[in-house]
Structure 1
Amino acid sequence: MTTWDSLYARRATRMRASEIRELLKLLDRPDVISFAGGIPDPALFPAREFKQAYSDILGGPEAERALQYGISEGSIRLRQWIVEHMGELGVSCNLENILITSGSQQGLDYIGKLFLSEDDTALVQWPTYLGAVQAFNAYELHFERLEPRANLEARDYLARAEEKGGAVKFAYLSPDFANPTGLSLDLEERKRILSLAGDLACAVIEDAPYQSLRYDGEPVRAMLALDCDCNGGIENSRTLYCGSFSKSLSPGLRLGWICAASEVISRLVLIKQASDLNTPVLNQEAMARVAETKFESHTARTNAIYRDRRDAMLAALEKHMPAGTSWTRPEGGMFIWVELPEELDASDLLERSVETAKVAFVPGRAFHPDGSGGNTLRLSFSCADTGKIEQGISRLGALISETVMSRQ
């Protein structure tokens, strides 16, 4: 009998199952109101437009090309749409600055593979996106806490990285409506991070899957745009922008992109070639057609619906949560971050919540690389209508109140 453990690479021991992916299974239970999955509402997908796009491609002269292997960089038509989209965000770039990936999650894995050596350091927000921790973790790195609102001293980060035997390679963050907190960075905080990265001579990874999901407030300039402004264009920038169609048009087509200096893109293309050769051409061509005709109108429609759901959840939290509980008030995205009274543990609460209150959420510890944050949890409002939100938060608030009372 083969003893597999002895054959696995050392980095395999750092791989962990996603608590969130496991929680998504709860969506199949009709008796549970789920605020767990950070996913778009499938009822809002532009299915008719995608059906027409696939029909046009497969029924016309482009069918053979769309069903064939493609170039690793990605479809020219889709990359051209992204070039124009990035221009609207203040980033002047060309096709050579864009790589299409199989979802932005693949992009994060490629970035980890390109930049991280054993014992290197990545600076991340605390809490941070669990998928990024999983993507980077296999490359045997160390995580350091990045606090955009604190005084950031490069020499401290450099000293700790040197003690661990590596270097600070990048700062990773989601400046717009971050997963899991829903919070955004203001202009000064973005500039502060870019300044720190300059002092550290490291890269900045701007993960922006929720950038188009703004419901209130004024848009803040993308970090890549600010970087280009300061350094004379994208070829001199240190920022990699990771975009995605998953939260705006469709997650099922698994399409994202990286926008960065062409030298970095050329290295990432080599990783793409060694990984899966190219992202499916058919999906890219269909996405290009839908993005060209429906992106703005579709996001405007979905944003209006998500705004109502966010407002319903904020109102329900205000109405039903006990004293000692606090939460974020995001201007967009899909998430609200809740901090419970310190004596409560959200992981313990979840089991009781699912079985008795019939409400699911994500415990916050999963988003902390050091395992802290036990008294925090993430709520997603994207897939529940306003009635379900009121009902679910009412039940959850009652359970939390009951649990607090039992501890007194």
Structure 2
Amino acid sequence: MSVDWGHVFASRVGGMTASEIRELLKLIDRPEIISFAGGIPDPDFFPTSALARAYEKIFQSNGGAGGALQYSITEGFTPLREWICAYMERNGVPVGLDSVLVTNGSQQVLEFVGKLLIGPGDKVVVTRPTYLGALQAFSPYEPSYLSIPMDEEGPELSALDAALAQKPKFFYLVPDFQNPNGTTVSLARREAILDRCAAAGVPVVEDTAYSELRYDGESLPLMAALDCARNGGKLTNVIYCGTFSKTMVPALRVGWVNAAPEVINRLVLMKQAADLHASTINQIVLHDVVSQIFDSHIKHLRSQYKERRDAMLAALDEFAPPGVTWTKPEGGMFVWVEAPETVNGTALLERAIKEANVAFVPGSAFHADRSGQNTLRLSFSVNKPERVREGVRRLCALLKESI
């Protein structure tokens, strides 16, 4: 007699779904495919020389490798946490070490937030659309999603009011160059969101994976900074998710979370149970690198990705058929395309791969209710401008046939 695994699995397993993005990343290895699918940094921009020097420094030092290869404290490598504190203070969030936990990317923060705050049936507010990885992190804890639409300034406030009236556990938001639609929440809307969430006693989970990648316009204060300004310099109503994956290198898997100490204390216990701590050597290396080149590297990324964004927007202007609209993001890695209702993004993807060697992510993946069948997310980050233009040309030709 064998085990009936379907019977043994916990009910939460039903909330676990495969990532369309992770599957599409496999296509990038096929040179004939022009991929607008994965929202990933271009490996040509990784600071490989600085990383190599940092690793070499560890192994050539007297006894340094032993500590770098050893277990460490759960909260994270102290010099890196100190760097994060200085970085956050520079951005208006004067947190202390007791408000910082280093994680395996910001994706782990989202999973921990789900574990910490969501019980079966609890309501969670997300935007429509929202980041697919957040839905994957939260869904195993069996929430009920309250999806609120967005306009050009961010989440619609009337819809947020209605959602907050249902007493959700938190509001998950990507305020800068949102993944997937590229929208940036205006300053007035940020203030209004904090007003409403604070009055309702609902925390905001702020995901800032792309906030450093601004190409146009003025930088806006973090939600966490606005929260601190309202509360005597203390982070009170916002859980801030940070990451080095988009700005430095993804494979080190180093992110962090800032929150009130009572929240961090609980998250530390979760991390102890999950994996003890983030990689010691990777934290040491990352600290070495960001201490030397962070600002100059960000400046380089902005100039390079701006060219690619501009190429995508120009190509859409040139080739998109009537009835197709798209966002014009001031930063990040994504342009959101909305086609007429007759277009099905999933069916279009199948044709695009087979007939045009182009890949993207169907927009329905970013909707908790799987709506948005006529939307597409295009990432411009990994293709040079001329390749971006050619990929958009091919895709728009198929769109024209589908309308």
Secondary structure of 1:258's counterpart equals strand
Aligned partners of 2:69 and 2:281 also within 8 Å: yes
Matches within 5 A, 1:109-258: 109-147=111-149, 148-152=154-158, 156-157=162-163, 161=166, 167-235=167-235, 237-258=236-257
Aligned partners of 2:176 and 2:211 also within 8 Å: yes
Q: Find the counterpart in structure 2 of residue 269 from structure 1.
A: 268
Deviates more, 1:143-152 or 1:202-211: 143-152
Aligned partners of 1:128 and 1:368 also within 8 Å: yes
Deviation at 1:312, TM superposition (A): 0.4
Aligned partners of 1:168 and 1:200 also within 8 Å: no
Matches within 5 A, 1:11-50: 11-50=12-51
Aligned partners of 2:15 and 2:140 also within 8 Å: yes
Q: Following the alignment from structure 1 to structure 2, what is the Cα–Cα distance between the partners of residues 225 and 347?
A: 39
Deviation at 1:231, TM superposition (A): 1.5
Output the amino acid matched with 2:68.
Answer: A
Provide closer, same or farther for how the CA distance between residues 223 and 158 of structure 1 changes in structure 2, counting only shifts above 3 A: closer
Deviations 1:126-157 (A, max 9, x none): 10000000000011101102344533377733
Provide closer, same or farther for how the CA distance between residues 323 and 154 of structure 1 changes in structure 2, counting only shifts above 3 A: closer
Question: Tell me, which stretches of 5 or more residues in structure 1 are unaligned?
Answer: 162-166
Deviation at 1:233, TM superposition (A): 2.2
Provide closer, same or farther for how the CA distance between residues 30 and 276 of structure 1 changes in structure 2, counting only shifts above 3 A: same
Q: Find the counterpart in structure 2 of residue 99 from structure 1.
A: 101
Q: Following the alignment from structure 1 to structure 2, what is the Cα–Cα distance between the partners of residues 146 and 54?
A: 45
Q: Following the alignment from structure 2 to structure 1, what is the Cα–Cα distance between the partners of residues 271 and 318?
A: 49
Deviation at 1:199, TM superposition (A): 2.2
Q: Following the alignment from structure 1 to structure 2, what is the Cα–Cα distance between the partners of residues 178 and 153?
A: 18
Aligned partners of 1:71 and 1:278 also within 8 Å: yes
Q: Following the alignment from structure 1 to structure 2, what is the Cα–Cα distance between the partners of residues 152 and 49?
A: 48
Count of aligned residue pairs for this structure pair: 397
Secondary structure of 1:168's counterpart equals coil
Q: Following the alignment from structure 2 to structure 1, what is the Cα–Cα distance between the partners of residues 139 and 297?
A: 35
Deviation at 1:101, TM superposition (A): 0.3
Percent of matched pairs sharing the same residue = 48
Q: Find the counterpart in structure 1 of residue 11 from structure 2.
A: 10
Aligned partners of 2:157 and 2:193 also within 8 Å: no
Question: Tell me, which stretches of 5 or more residues in structure 2 are unaligned?
Answer: none
Q: Following the alignment from structure 2 to structure 1, what is the Cα–Cα distance between the partners of residues 163 and 155?
A: 16
Q: Following the alignment from structure 2 to structure 1, what is the Cα–Cα distance between the partners of residues 256 and 359?
A: 31
Q: Following the alignment from structure 1 to structure 2, what is the Cα–Cα distance between the partners of residues 110 and 198?
A: 22
Aligned partners of 1:154 and 1:200 also within 8 Å: no
Output the amino acid matched with 2:203.
Answer: A
Deviations 1:56-104 (A, max 9, x none): 1122132111111010000001101100110111111111110000000
Aligned partners of 1:176 and 1:185 also within 8 Å: yes
Q: TM-score, normalised by structure 1?
A: 0.95
Q: Find the counterpart in structure 2 of residue 164 from structure 1.
A: none
CA RMSD of aligned residues (A): 1.2
Q: TM-score, normalised by structure 2?
A: 0.96
Secondary structure of 1:138's counterpart equals helix
Matches within 5 A, 1:31-110: 31-60=32-61, 61-110=63-112
Provide closer, same or farther for how the CA distance between residues 114 and 343 of structure 1 changes in structure 2, counting only shifts above 3 A: same
Q: Find the counterpart in structure 2 of residue 325 from structure 1.
A: 324
Secondary structure of 2:220's counterpart equals coil
Q: Find the counterpart in structure 1 of residue 372 from structure 2.
A: 373
Provide closer, same or farther for how the CA distance between residues 325 and 276 of structure 1 changes in structure 2, counting only shifts above 3 A: same
**Structure 1 consecutive aligned stretches of length 4 or more whose deviation exceeds 6 Å:** none
Q: Following the alignment from structure 2 to structure 1, what is the Cα–Cα distance between the partners of residues 359 and 155?
A: 31
Deviations 1:25-63 (A, max 9, x none): 111111111010100000110001001001111221321
Deviation at 1:374, TM superposition (A): 0.2
Matches within 5 A, 1:335-350: 335-350=334-349
Output the amino acid matched with 2:114.
Answer: G
